[in-house]
């Protein structure tokens, strides 16, 4: 039962984080930034949020710095939007999965 609750809450966090990302005005945050995955701990006190960008890993890393500086605001927004009892500590991690997927897709299209 607890696993279902944490996975559902992780999906809710991912959905709300996507909306919050569009509202942030930090110039370091890439407009092509995407939330790949949100891993919530079992006790819901920590949440790792994996982000990726089509612009490359360097822009993703710069965006992570911007997200870390806005972590307090993001945490407060999540708390209010999801009506949580306790807001999790957010950790942002740069992920290159979208960029890798685009490269693989390009290579497959070149073969055809």
**34-64 tens-digit pLDDT:** 899 999 998 889 999 999 988 888 889 999 9
Q: What is the pLDDT of residues 61-79, one digit of tens each?
A: 999 999 999 999 999 999 9
Its pTM stands at 0.84
Q: Which runs of E-coded beta strand occur in 1-74?
A: 33-40, 46-53
Per-residue pLDDT for 100 more than 90? no
Structure letter (DSSP) for residue 55 = T
Alpha carbon of 95 to those of 40, 54, 84: distances in Å? 17, 11, 27
Q: What is the pLDDT of residue 6?
A: 86
Strand order in 46-53's β-sheet? 33-40, 46-53, 89-94
């Amino acid at each position: 039962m607890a696993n279902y609750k944490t996975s559902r809450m992780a999906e809710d966090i991912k959905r709300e984080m996507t909306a919050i990302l569009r509202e942030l005005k930090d110039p370091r945050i890439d407009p092509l930034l995407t939330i790949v995955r949100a891993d919530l701990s079992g006790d819901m006190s920590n949440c790792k949020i994996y982000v990726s960008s089509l612009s490359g890993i360097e822009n993703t890393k710069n965006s992570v710095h911007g997200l870390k500086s806005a972590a307090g605001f993001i945490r407060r927004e999540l708390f209010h939007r999801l009506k949580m009892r306790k807001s999790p500590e957010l950790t942002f991690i740069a992920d290159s999965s979208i960029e890798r997927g685009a490269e693989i897709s390009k290579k497959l299209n070149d073969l055809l």
